[in-house]
Amino acid sequence: MQGPLRILTVVGARPQIIKAAAISRAAEALGAARVQQTILHTGQHYDDDMSRDFFAELGLPEPAIDLALGYDKQGDRTTRMAEGIRQALKDLKPDVVLVYGDTDSTLAAALAADDEKTPLAHVEAGLRSYDESMPEEFNRIECDRRATWLFCPTTVAVENLRMEGFHVEATGTPSRERPAVRLTGDVMYDNSLHFACRAEGSGILRAHDLSPRGYFLATVHRVRNTDAPERLEALMYALMDLHELHGMPVVLPLHPRTRARLGAIGTAGVLRALDAHPGVRLLPPAGFLDMVALERNARLVLTDSGGVQKEAFFLGVPVVVLRAETEWTELVEHGWAILADADPERIATAVNTFLFTDLAVPPPLYGDGHAAERILAELLSAHTDQ
Ligand code: UDP
């Protein structure tokens, strides 16, 4: 009799830990006789409020392997992560390596799986921003090229892969040479449905004296924004202006990198201005349920995050994207997101557009809330065929 499907899940960054919660719930529902999952944490994000706290909050099993490589320099870090993951593959010999998204941890796992000839399953495959100068875009493409399963959250992602020459209709048992492209829906939507009710218990609005629809929520953490002082400065002053223009507070849970860059020479004045500004609430990174509560009740969201863009949409809140492009192009096409880059004028115009426009009911762009079950069903079906 065929043993259980053994999955090595590699996470490293906050959004991956959050996405892993959806698969983990689905694996638990199937039971250990069918699916056994081991979690490896690369340590890419290592602060408790960016990593450890999420395992407890989302009910995710603690990682069995922690490479603790977050402190390494970025260039060496991917290589060191790949070495650690390769060793885990040698030791555990899993049936499949499961990765999420587009971070250095994702790439490291893809490289290690390739070397060890372990099939790779990529969740959030096929996403493209078509900006090859973004490190995330490089990671996405390299990971998709090495995958045996490409689990796409949207039809746009499937079409992107088709345009790159993938046989998106291929059936039968997949292999690295003949990978399976599958439209599964988005595991973040699964999570959003699962956690939305629980987020109602969050006390974060009360703690910061915020009223529903009475504030703007902003997040900024992309390297493109944090590591270009003129962009970071422009964004922060644009957020401060919003309060002056509309009289609503701007809530800004600060990613550790953003805080560090704001505190660096040249931009330290901006951090002081933010700290002293009566309309800006600087917060530490929020826990997931607090973040969902903040997103759901915001008048609108301004963000350069991929995940926050979508979560706002799931919750019916429009988004100003603080980037020149997005991999979630359907949000822009359906009018729920406006690209404003780090340009204060475009940001102000986009905010005005949303404040004075009623949006239609959000269309079902990201599946039905069962993406994780679908992903495991695909992997199990290939496992049973062996
Ligand atoms: N998030 C959070 N607390 C925060 C900011 C974001 O829990 O202070 C969550 C957010 O709800 C979403 C995920 O982190 O689920 C998005 O991750 P992030 O913005 O770090 O990365 P990206 O999605 O851009 O890869």
Residue closest to 151 by CA, chosen among 127, 122, 110: 122
- What is the value of pTM for the model shown? 0.95
What is the arithmetic mean of pLDDT over 357-372?
92
Any idea which of 3-12, 172-181, 265-274, 362-371 has the lowest mean pLDDT?
265-274
pLDDT at 76: 83
Q: Are 180 and 174 in contact (CB under 8 A)?
A: yes
At residue 74 the predicted structure's pLDDT band, cuts being 50, 70 and 90, is: low
At residue 75 the predicted structure's pLDDT band, cuts being 50, 70 and 90, is: low
Task: Answer whether 94 contacts ligand 1 (Cβ < 6 A).
Answer: no
At residue 73 the predicted structure's pLDDT band, cuts being 50, 70 and 90, is: low
Q: Measured between alpha carbons, how far apart are the two ends of the chain, in Å?
A: 11
In 10 A of CB 299, how many CB atoms?
18
Residue closest to 136 by CA, chosen among 127, 148, 149: 127
Please determine, for residue 279, whether its predicted confidence score (pLDDT) is greater than 90. Answer: yes
pLDDT at 70: 76
Amino acid in the structure at residue 216: F
pLDDT at 215: 98
Q: Express each pLDDT in 130-144 by its tens digit.
A: 998 889 999 999 999
Q: Which atom of ligand 1 is nearest to the CA of 191?
A: 15
Residue nearest to atom 10 of ligand 1 (CA): 308
At residue 47 the predicted structure's pLDDT band, cuts being 50, 70 and 90, is: confident
Q: Which atom of ligand 1 is nearest to the CA of 309?
A: 23
- Indicate the length of the chain as a whole number: 386
Please determine, for residue 347, whether its predicted confidence score (pLDDT) is greater than 70. Answer: yes
Task: Answer whether 18 contacts ligand 1 (Cβ < 6 A).
Answer: yes
15 alpha carbon to ligand 1 midpoint, in Å? 5
Q: Kindly tell me the burial class for residue 33, based on how many C-beta atoms sit within 10 Å of its own C-beta (0-12, 13-18, 19 or more).
A: exposed
Q: Express each pLDDT in 151-166 by its tens digit.
A: 999 999 999 999 999 9
Any idea which of 76-80, 117-121, 241-245 has the lowest mean pLDDT?
76-80
Residue nearest to atom 2 of ligand 1 (CA): 288
Average pLDDT over the chain, rounded to whole? 95
pLDDT at 138: 96
